[in-house]
Amino acid sequence: MKNRFQSSTSVCLFLFIILFIGYSSGSPGADFTAFPVSGEVPLTVSFTDISSVPDGSTIIAWNWSFGDGQTASIQNPEHVYTDEGLYDVTLTIDFGNGTDSLLKQSYISVSEPPPELIADFFTDPVSGSAPLTVFFFDLSSGPIEWWDWDFGDGSPRSTEQHPVHDYVDPGLYSVNLTVGYANQSASTTMTDLIIVEAAAPPLEPVAGTSSILTPGTQYTDQHNPDISGDLVVWSGSGDHSQDIYVYNLSSGGELDITPDERCGTPDHQYPDQVDPSIEGHIIVWVDGRNSFWDIYLYDLESQTEILVTPDTAGSNQVDPIVSGDRIVWSDDRDKGNSQYDVYLYSITTGEEMLLSPDMTSISLEHPRLSGDYVVCEGYDLNNWSYDIYLYDITTAVWTLLTPDTPWSDQKNPDISGDYIVWDGIDEMQGTQDVYLYNLSSGTTMLLTEGTASTDQMNPKIEGDTIVWEDNRIDGGWNYDIVLYSVTSGIAGLITPDTATNQASPEISGNRVVWSGYSDLWTWDVYLFTSGIEKPLLEAAFSANVTASRAPVTVSFTDQTQGEPAFWFWDFGDGNISEEQNPDHTFIDPGTYDVTLWTGNPYQRAMERKDDYISAGSPPVAKFSATPQSGLSPLTVQFSD
């Protein structure tokens, strides 16, 4: 028994010694830890070496492989994983007389982060008159599960993605949008984003009388009228070209002052004359008879015509305006390429002067003249936008009136005395408004507040009365003509009964002329006289005889409804009459159109009857006899 115990004890002791020696001498082993071992791109991981080596040995090198193609050779490296995936990590240690490696498979787990949650939105419109309907469009990004809108007006919030909201009261409103998912959210607030104006008062019709001035021209265009006192001019297209017409409101007389037979040239048999301007007895216009556009002048008193721009071959002179003794226009003779300077001409002396020699980077267009001031729109060739410029003839100084509008167009200026008007783009709304500038105070006032989402443009002024084109009535489709008093601040409608575009108004005293688009897709000239109300004028006539043998004398009877004051008859045979009830003899056989123009200082009307008078050939006596000779007694048969 004792020997078995001793023998057993010896074996155990031997094994213990072997294990102890092996443990104390230290078997080499590479090992490491990492933190963190999982996360989102980009993931920074700290690696810690915990390798063991035999006693008396020292690790002299570490070689790390991070599984993404990157390596390191320091003991405790830090590494950034930039792509998602599972990564194997290997550490190899070198302890002088040997190496050891450890591979940990799929040790590092890197995932893509969820998309960043960003709240964003867009609105349209951002301004307008109350009540204002605004469309909100969510532009947020990320894994969005819900939306929360605060419209800033105390109304109930919305949880729709793209809500529509009505702002009832005028004011400035900040809008907040919060979006989110699970327990994550993002928010954005746009301060004072929505501008709601008090609605402009409704336009009431202005008391007065309206009338067409170009009846009977339904297949041609009559446009760009101007007015001075009792005289109205316009450009009208006839058979071959556009001519300049002048009409006298007091007498009813109409005259073509640029007939083709006088203005035509061998190279331009039917030249166009357009864009007339009148003051007193002087009319100026743009004329194409010399290949390029020139400025011509016609004196109604002397019935003489003058070429104002004789030495401008190869260039264009456009947009003339006459005021007093002066004419101004835009001229590209110096800059070329339809880039314009402004020239001034004295009717009395015939002298011409360049007003803009130093405005080399501005194209000055559509000048208007009043007293010693010229106002025009200027196109900045560097900023590509229009501004309003003022020129003082006495000091030869140009002034920029709209310095705070570098990115929006300010156009179509006009001037009268102390006031300048123009239309400018509303940068928030993208629509046009009318502005008034006071020369004495240097202040600018918006005249069309509360008209957001509609256009008011092309204003003209005389004294304290302004007219402009306005499309607020027809929901933005067609333009009407509005009359505004600076003194009262009241705007009224002078075209309440139109359903087509009305354009290019001009004003003189209590009269306004403009171009109106007809149902036949052509333009006519119209007149409005404020403060004078006349019954409707409708031309009509009859004749006692409409068919007979020539010569036939016909008695015509005026049956016009309203208050006609003058009459112009055209009998179709080259003869005319200004009597109310004329008698006329048609001498030659034929069929004749008869036209009656009638009117008064406020209205004009016309009736035309085609093929109204039929004048047949007169009887001719003729007979035959058989026989015509023989012995008596002779019986002869006569035939009519």
Q: Provide the CATH number for the domain around residue 487.
A: 2.120.10.30
Separation of alpha carbons 209 and 511, rounded Å: 10
Q: How far does CA 354 lie from the centroid of its chain?
A: 31
Structure tokens at 280: 């007193």
DSSP letter (8 states) at residue 505: E
User: Which of 180, 197, 214 marks a domain boundary?
Assistant: 197
Average pLDDT over residues 554-580: 98
Q: Tell me if 77 is assigned to some domain.
A: yes
CATH label of the domain that carries residue 184? 2.60.40.10
Cα angle value 317/313/357 (rounded, 5°): 55
Query: In the chain, pLDDT over 90 holds for what percent of residues?
Result: 78
Asked if residue 506 is part of any domain, the answer here is: yes
Specify whether the CB–CB gap between 156 and 163 falls below 8 A.
no
Q: How does pLDDT run across 138-156, given as a tens digit for each residue?
A: 999 999 999 999 999 999 9
Check residues 130 and 274 and name the one with the higher pLDDT.
274
* Residues 83-100: tens digit of each pLDDT: 999 999 999 999 888 899
Determine the average pLDDT of the residues in 453-479. Answer: 92
Is residue 260 helix, strand or coil? Answer: helix
Same domain as 609, residue 511 = no
User: Do 103 and 128 sit in the same domain of this protein?
Assistant: no
Reported confidence tier of residue 17, pLDDT bands at 50, 70, 90: very low
pLDDT reading at 14 higher than 50: no
Strand partners, 529: 209, 511
- Tell me whether residue 343 is in a domain: no
pLDDT at 198 (0 to 100): 87
**463 falls within a domain:** yes
Residues 105 and 125 in one domain: no
Name which residue leads in pLDDT, 627 or 534.
534
Confidence of residue 11 (pLDDT cuts 50, 70, 90): very low
Which of 268-277, 424-433, 598-607 ranks highest by mean pLDDT? 598-607
Mean pLDDT of 9-13: 36
- Tell me: do 477 and 494 sit in the same domain: yes
pLDDT value for 27: 67
pLDDT in tens, 115-128: 889 999 999 988 88
In angstroms, the CA 512 to CA 505 distance is 7
pLDDT at residue 352 tops 90: yes
DSSP of 473-490? TTTTSS-EEEEEETTT--
Q: Summarize the confidence of residues 270-282 as an average pLDDT.
A: 96
Q: Looking at the predicted structure, is the pLDDT value of residue 447 above 50?
A: yes
- For residues 569 and 583, the answer to whether their CB atoms sit within 8 Å is no
Retrieve residue 606's tokens: 């016309």
For residues 172 and 192, the answer to whether their CB atoms sit within 8 Å is: yes
| Count of structural domains within the chain | 4
- Looking at the structure, tell me whether residues 607 and 575 fall in a common domain: yes
Distance separating alpha carbons of residues 286 and 292, to the nearest angstrom: 10
Per-residue pLDDT of 282-313, as tens digits, reads 999 999 999 899 999 999 999 999 999 999 99
Q: Of the ranges 22-26, 54-58, 311-315, 509-513, which one carries the lowest mean pLDDT score?
A: 22-26
Q: What is the pLDDT of residue 24?
A: 38
- The verdict on 463 and 490 lying in the same domain is yes
Q: Could you tell me if 150 and 90 lie in one domain?
A: no
3-class SS at 15? helix
Could you list the beta-strand ranges (E) of 95-163: 99-111, 121-124, 127-129, 132-138, 146-150
Give yes or no for a cis peptide into 551 (omega within 30° of 0): yes
Q: Are 563 and 535 in contact (CB under 8 A)?
A: yes
Mean pLDDT of 400-421: 95
Contacts of 184 (CB under 8 A, 6+ apart): 117
Residue pair 330/364 in contact (Cβ under 8 Å)? The answer is yes
Kind of pairing between the strands at 99-111 and 61-65: unpaired
| DSSP 8-class letter at 116 | P
Q: Does residue 160 belong to any structural domain of this protein? A: yes
Domain boundary, last residue among 138, 171, 197: 197
Q: Are residues 523 and 557 in the same domain?
A: no
> Is residue 461 classed exposed, middle or buried when 0-12, 13-18 and 19+ CB atoms within 10 A define those classes?
buried
Please write the tens of the pLDDT for every residue from 330-346. 999 999 888 999 999 99
pLDDT value at residue 265: 84
Measure the CA–CA gap between 242 and 236, rounded to whole angstroms: 5
Most confident of the ranges 427-431, 451-455, 581-585 = 581-585
Q: Are residues 88 and 45 in the same domain?
A: yes
Residue 43's domain comprises 25-111
Q: Which strands, in side-by-side order, build the sheet including 326-331? A: 317-323, 326-331, 341-346, 352-354
3-state secondary structure of 45: strand
Q: Give the C-alpha separation, 469 to 452, whole Å.
A: 15
Q: pLDDT confidence of 405, banded at 50, 70, 90?
A: confident
What is the pLDDT at residue 451?
Answer: 85
Q: Backbone phi, then psi, for 262, in 5-degree steps? A: -100, -35
Do the Cβ atoms of 472 and 451 come closer than 8 Å? yes
Token pair, residue 331, equals 């001229």
The answer to whether residue 1 is domain-embedded is: no
The predicted structure's pLDDT at residue 380? 94
CA distance 530 to 39: 81
Mean pLDDT of the chain: 92
Phi/psi at 167 (5° precision): -95, 120
Of the residues 533, 565, 595, the one at which a domain ends: 533
> Mean pLDDT, to the nearest integer, of 321-338?
95
**Is pLDDT of 578 > 60?**
yes
**Is the residue at 293 inside a domain?**
no
pLDDT at 407 over 90: no
Q: What is the pLDDT of residue 512?
A: 99
Same domain, residue pair 523 and 580: no
Stated pTM of the model: 0.76
pLDDT over 50 at 22, yes or no: no
Tens digit of pLDDT for each residue in 250-268? 999 999 999 988 888 888 8
Q: Based on the fold, state whether residues 491 and 584 are members of the same structural domain.
A: no
Instruction: Specify the residue for token string 């008062």.
Output: 201
